Amino acid sequence: MYNPNSLKAEEFISHEEILDTLAYADKNKNNIPLIDAILAKAAEKKGLSHREASVLLACEDKEKIQELYALAKKIKDDFYGNRIVLFAPLYLSNYCVNGCVYCPYHAKNN
């Protein structure tokens, strides 16, 4: 059962939810009013849902993509200033091939 608040990977990572989210993003990738609403929410710096993020990632409108880049830079600058920031990868499954001992997805850490 999909539960985004669970601490168990098999509950907060759901194949069906991933497929539904990708379908939602594909359906809304050119929905400019929705994209504008998501960008406005992002500007508040309180976080986005995975579905909202998926719509922004799927967006094909060149003007909105440039707005997204500008907003992302502004948010990054507001949080971290003028420096290079490296982010950890986003995992979409609980299958690990790297075996990093610090990672919660490492089989031996479960």
Answering whether pTM is above 0.75, one says: no
**How many angstroms separate the CA atoms of 65 and 50, rounded?**
18
Residue 62: pLDDT over 70: yes
Amino acid at 75: I
Summarised one tens digit per residue, pLDDT across range 78-100 is 988 888 777 666 666 666 666 67
Instruction: Give the confidence band of 104 by pLDDT, cuts at 50, 70, 90.
Output: low
Kindly report the backbone phi and psi dihedral angles of residue 92, in degrees, each rounded to the nearest multiple of 5, phi listed first: -110, 15
Q: Is 3 part of any domain?
A: no
In a domain, residue 86? The reply is no
Closest CA to 94 of 76, 74, 110: 110
Q: Is residue 67 part of a domain?
A: yes
Q: Residue 44 corresponds to which tokens in the numbers above?
A: 């508040």
What pLDDT sits at residue 108?
A: 61
Confidence bin at 13 (pLDDT 50/70/90): confident
Q: Is residue 107 part of a domain?
A: no
Tally of domains in the chain: 1
The answer on pLDDT for 64 being more than 70 is yes
38 vs 97: CA distance, rounded Å: 34
Q: 46 is in which domain, residue-wise?
A: 9-81
Torsion on CA atoms 6, 9, 10, 11, rounded to nearest 10: 20
